[in-house]
Amino acid sequence: MVAPNYGNPSGILLGTANPYYARFSSSNTSSVVDDAVAKSPTFFSYWIGNNDVLSYATNGGTNSAIVGGITTYTPATVQTSVDATTYKPNDISSPALVAGAIKAGLDKLKAGGATKGVIANIPYVTSIPFFTTVPYNPLTPAALGTNLTTLNTNLYGPLKQALTAFGAGDRINLLSSTSSNPVLIKDVSLPNLSAQLTAALTPSLGLPTATAFGQIFGQARQTTVEDYILLTSRSVIGTPVTGAPSPVNVYGISYPLENQHVLSKTEAAAVKTAVDAYNTAIMGLADSYGLAFVDANNKMVDLNSQSGISWDGVKYSAKFVTGGTFSLDGVHLTGRGYAIVANEFIKSINKKYRSTLPEVDPNKYSGIKFP
């Protein structure tokens, strides 16, 4: 909002400018807020901060880079610095930076004469279909078939026994033949037990195989209800891993999903901590500037609940596709979803300023079309 040069087309590929803002910015050096103030507004709506955690979450808490033609992934960072130039693209922004940027924008609007407005907080990203569609335990006994017994005998059993000896037996359990099973993932927050696994498995598997097992499963564990498998990772589970030795070469089943495929419970906790800090700051700014406040986070929680919300007999929820509020990327809202959010803005404006803006009818807006 307050970054200069954000409409400069030459900065689009560098990530310092926005391709949509560049279409209508007043100059190559302007900022979004400066252009807004130039219009002499009397009222504004302000809803930013989602992307300060969203890219971290949708990339499984990783940053990617192309090195020698190969894409590599490294853990993204929860930043404390207020110098955004030191950030990598998917890092979580410091709450101090986010609050400071929002305040700077509000100060410019106020100085320009726009003293009335509405501001919204940030929803928990884990309330959206991108993170809630794929269950943590998608491996049914039927899908595993006859491989289930083989996997338990040749992989899960030996790993469980070795990890238990190291006091890490809770990382992996035998696959169940009566209920759905979690997937294998790599959790970079865990101590790496590669060397210990290699030593323990060498007598039974031989050094080459034991070494491969150690490298593959040193930070492996099964998912729990606190982990979030990304929507884009649904097509990865069950596919072969290029270069991995058979039989430990099937993603999520005999080979761990990579860090970029899953938002682990540790990473999800970091996202929630940041969002809570953002929202505390946003509510404080709403109070200090006398603005209408929209609890967008609470509305998203409502949508994500089993009951969802209803409008004129039509039920809406955060369920992927059939819920009606989210588009097919599982992140952005449909026209109907945005209409629901717009009504929250309208209700807050009416309450704060005693206005009588009519609510819109979400059922009249675009949604997902079914074949």
What pLDDT is recorded for position 9? 95
Task: State residue 66 phi and psi, 5-degree precision.
Answer: -100, 115
Report, at the CATH architecture level, how domain 40-131+269-364 is classified.
Answer: 3-Layer(aba) Sandwich (3.40)
Q: Where in the chain is the domain with CATH 3.40.50.1110?
A: 40-131+269-364
Tell me the one-letter amino acid at 149: T
Q: What is the structure's pLDDT at 308?
A: 86
Residue type, 256: P
Which of 151, 173, 180 is closest to 220 using CA atoms? 173
Look up tokens 């039927």; give the residue: 142
Q: Which residues contact 179 (CB under 8 A, 6 or more apart)?
A: 137, 141
* pLDDT on residue 269: 97
Q: Which residues pair with 309 in a beta bridge?
A: 316
Determine contact, residues 285/99, Cβ cutoff 8 Å. yes
d(CA 216, CA 184): 11
Over its C-alpha atoms, the chain yields an Rg (Å, rounded) of 24
Residue 246 has what DSSP assignment?
Answer: T
Helices in 123-264 by DSSP H: which ranges? 129-132, 141-144, 147-151, 157-165, 194-205, 207-217
DSSP string, 306-359: SS-EEETTEEEBSSTTTTBSB-TTSSSB-HHHHHHHHHHHHHHHHHHH---PPP
Instruction: Judge contact between 326 and 128, C-beta under 8 A.
Output: yes
- Is the CB of residue 103 less than 8 Å from the CB of residue 54? no
Give the pLDDT confidence score for residue 371 in this predicted structure: 63
Specify the DSSP element, H or E, that contains 116: strand 116-120
Question: Which pLDDT value is given to residue 122?
Answer: 95
Return the pLDDT at 38: 96
- pLDDT tens over the chain, length 371 residues: 999 999 999 999 988 899 999 999 999 999 999 999 999 999 999 999 999 999 999 999 999 988 888 889 999 999 999 998 899 999 999 999 999 999 999 999 999 999 999 999 999 999 999 999 999 999 999 999 999 999 999 999 999 999 999 999 999 999 999 999 999 999 999 999 999 999 999 998 899 999 999 999 999 999 999 999 999 999 999 999 998 888 899 999 999 999 999 999 999 999 999 999 999 999 999 999 999 999 999 999 988 887 788 999 999 999 999 999 999 999 999 999 999 999 999 999 999 999 999 999 999 999 988 76
Burial environment of residue 210 by CB neighbours within 10 A (0 to 12, 13 to 18, 19 or more): buried
**The pLDDT of residue 307:** 79
